[in-house]
């Protein structure tokens, strides 16, 4: 009996879910490591080139360029496509974690714009990753959808208001911590 070897092409939805998982985990880990370094709870493992701190957004940009070139030129399938999606989410998180620094060219790491950008990117990846379930939307789901939409809007409002209040409360402390940890 001959077995035919077939390569399974992952759907865009499945790849987006992998990228989303990698994106969220990388963002959480990056924020945690930066906080621990600034609080001097772990050694400073930042890369410095001739006294210039190379921020992790640069690693993310280079990784995005490599993954983009790889997927364009090699068109990976199977496990290679899954790994490319994970690497894409990893690079995206490293780059967007410091989005505020892109926007304000050298501002503080703890800018609200960075967290907002991460939330928007995660939401977009989530929509792409889970849009297949929306295709099966039926009329009987209307009220559940309305309630979910209201809950999401309410959560967004609370997140926005709480973010401003937390920023006002913790922002100066985090910026002070950042200044103290600078070489």
> 49 — phi, psi (to 5°)?
-115, 110
Predicted pLDDT at 80: 92
> Whole-number mean pLDDT of the chain?
78
**How many C-beta atoms lie closer than 10 Å to residue 176's C-beta?**
11
- Classify 88 as helix, strand or coil: helix
- Classify 105 as helix, strand or coil: coil
- Could you report the per-residue pLDDT of 134-175, keeping only the tens digit for each? 556 666 666 766 776 777 677 667 666 666 666 666 666 666
Residues linked to residue 47 through DSSP beta bridges, in sequence order: 54
pLDDT at 1 over 50: no
Residues 62, 87 contacting (CB under 8 angstroms): no
- Could you report the per-residue pLDDT of 69-112, keeping only the tens digit for each? 999 999 998 899 999 999 999 999 999 888 877 777 766 666 77
Measured CA to CA in angstroms, residue 85 lies from 59, 72, 88, 92, 166 at distances of 16, 13, 5, 10, 33
Q: CA 145, CA 65: separation in Å to the nearest integer?
A: 38
Residues 102, 88 contacting (CB under 8 angstroms): no
Residue with token string 């077939």: 6
Q: CA 14, CA 85: separation in Å to the nearest integer?
A: 9
164/26: higher pLDDT? 26
> 109 — phi, psi (to 5°)?
-65, -30
The two three-digit tokens of residue 136, written as one number: 């099966």
Indicate the pTM of the whole model. 0.69
């Amino acid at each position: 009996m001959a077995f035919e070897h077939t390569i399974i092409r992952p759907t865009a939805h499945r790849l987006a879910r992998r990228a989303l998982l990698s994106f969220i985990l990388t963002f959480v880990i990056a924020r945690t490591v930066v906080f621990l370094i600034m609080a001097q709870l772990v050694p400073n493992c930042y890369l410095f080139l001739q006294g210039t701190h190379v921020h992790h957004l640069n690693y993310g940009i280079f990784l995005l360029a490599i993954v983009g070139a790889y997927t364009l030129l090699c068109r990976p399938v199977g496990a290679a496509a899954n790994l490319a999606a994970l690497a894409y989410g990893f690079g995206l998180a490293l780059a967007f974690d410091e989005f505020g620094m892109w926007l304000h060219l050298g501002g503080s790491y703890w800018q609200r714009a960075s967290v907002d950008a991460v939330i928007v990117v995660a939401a977009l990846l989530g929509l792409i990753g889970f849009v297949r379930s929306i295709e099966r939307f039926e009329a009987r789901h209307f009220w559940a959808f309305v309630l979910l939409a209201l809950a999401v809007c309410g959560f967004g409002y609370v997140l926005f208001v709480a973010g401003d209040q937390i920023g006002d409360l913790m922002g100066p402390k985090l910026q002070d911590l950042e200044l103290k940890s600078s070489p």
